[in-house]
Amino acid sequence: MSEKNPRIQKPAHTLAIDGSTYSGSVALITEGRVLSERTIGGDDGSVSRAGRGEKLMPAIAECLEDAGIDRSEIGAIVCGSGPGSFTSLRVAGSVAKGLAFGLGVPLYAVSSLLLTVTGAKPSAPQGEYLSVLDAMRGEFYAARIVVLASEPPQQSEPPRIISADELAARGSRTGVRVIGPGQNVDAHPHARGVAPILESILSAGSVDLAAWEPDYGRLAEAQVRWEATHGRPLTT
């Protein structure tokens, strides 16, 4: 259950993390401005998966150092909630939860499909978007995002899995831009996308730190294979 507060108290500094794809990211945000940011695995020539903790923690430290801010000054953490890569999301979510617990600050979650639009460079113009991420098996996670001049971008529907054929059909609709890695508007979810929607994220309330998990979208491939082999669900 989220913890909603009718009186939003904006933190001085917010750390944002996203690990929904193999190109992960972190950003340090103050008063709606991005003070520093890092993209992991996409721009550094690495072939390793970006959500891995050995790259995520140094990137966070670099952002803090660039901005001249101590980690004790972080007042909130926002984590991309997916859907996306199971392993990368799991690691990013664990890092976000661990930092929130250790620093004694609230943790907030935001759709990674929304962060694709709000974190795009150059900024996404007004209009309707179909934000998509690879779901493997020839399918995509997708959600409709609306960008208006009068209010922050909003995700107007829960994420769902669509086929490549449905993606092509929806993308052919007049006025709908398909945005995502390798799509017509080529963009990845990015932690900097928290900045323009921070107030709406805070107003939605923090997550239950003990119970929260990212939206993985579907089971990990290893679990799928195990259940297919044993003919029963794998319980936790």
Instruction: Give the type of residue at 13.
Output: H
> What is the distance between the alpha carbons of residues 171 and 167, in angstroms, rounded to a whole number?
6
Q: Tokens 């550094």 label which residue?
A: 44
Question: pLDDT by residue for the chain (236 residues), tens digit each?
Answer: 455 554 566 788 999 999 999 889 999 999 889 999 999 975 444 444 444 567 899 999 999 999 999 999 999 999 999 999 988 999 999 999 999 999 999 999 999 999 999 999 999 999 999 999 999 889 999 999 999 998 999 999 999 999 999 998 877 776 789 999 999 999 999 999 999 999 999 999 999 999 999 999 875 554 555 445 656 654 54
Short-list 4, 2, 10, CA closest to 199: 10
Q: What is the pLDDT of residue 34?
A: 97
Candidates 3.30.420.40, 3.40.50.720, 3.30.365.10, 3.40.1390.10; correct CATH number of 14-230? 3.30.420.40
Q: Tokens 């507060």 label which residue?
A: 5
Do 24 and 92 touch, CB atoms closer than 8 A?
Answer: yes
Q: What is the pLDDT of residue 50?
A: 42
> What is the distance between the alpha carbons of residues 183 and 185, in angstroms, rounded to a whole number?
5
DSSP structural state of residue 42: S
Contacts of 210 by beta carbon, 8 Å cutoff, 6+ apart:
none
> What is the distance between the alpha carbons of residues 9 and 125, in angstroms, rounded to a whole number?
29
Q: What is the pLDDT of residue 1?
A: 45
Do 141 and 155 touch, CB atoms closer than 8 A?
Answer: no
Do 181 and 168 touch, CB atoms closer than 8 A?
Answer: no
The pTM of the full predicted model, rounded to 2 decimals, is 0.87
Q: What is the pLDDT of residue 11?
A: 84
Q: Give the tokens for residue 11.
A: 């933190």
Q: What is the pLDDT of residue 170?
A: 79
DSSP string, 109-163: EE-HHHHHHHT-SSPPPSEEEEEEEEEETTEEEEEEEEE-SSS--EE-S--EEEE
User: For residue 201, what is the enclosing H or E element?
Assistant: helix 198-204
